[in-house]
Homo-oligomer: A and B are copies of this chain.
Amino acid sequence: MKQISSRFSIAVHILSLVAVTPDPCTGDYLAGSVNTNPVIIRRITGMLKKAGLIDVRPGVGGATLRVSPDDITLLMVFKAVQAASEGELFHFHDNPNPDCPIGGNIEALLRAEMRAAQEAFEARLASVTLRKLLEGFKPHLGAELRVP
């Protein structure tokens, strides 16, 4: 199966690092931590910026949080980073035969179940804020952690 793009985990990584770092984070710095190409980072920071989650300063460089870690949920990150396909997790097969007793009726019913499953998925992501996630770091980082 084709999995959900690693853009999501990278985006959470970026936001966590930006939240914890006192100074603005440059793309190259982020790329070093995530361990990927700076352009990948810029593509994702661009999406996060467009979603209003971060500020990125062109020219001088550096990204900073635009929203409090209390108000950023994993679902917001997920949506910010997906962008396409109407945000639908499932793909329904095209044009089932309407003359068939099932084909004509299954679509609405199954679609409703798919939507319900996606909603359960999204509700769980929505229940976790960036702050809550970062709390988990504290035991490891001690005083180093600096979340506004």
Contacts and interface: CB of A to CB of B under 8 A. Distances in A.
Q: Which of A97, A101, A123, A144 has the most CB of B within 10 A?
A: A101
20 contacts: A1-B82, A1-B83, A1-B87, A2-B3, A3-B89, A4-B90, A12-B110, A13-B93, A13-B110, A20-B101, A33-B97, A34-B103, A35-B96, A101-B141, A106-B137, A109-B133, A109-B136, A113-B125, A119-B124, A121-B121
A105 interface: yes
Interface in A43-99: 74, 82-85, 87-97
Contacts of A2: 2-5, 85
Number of copies: 2
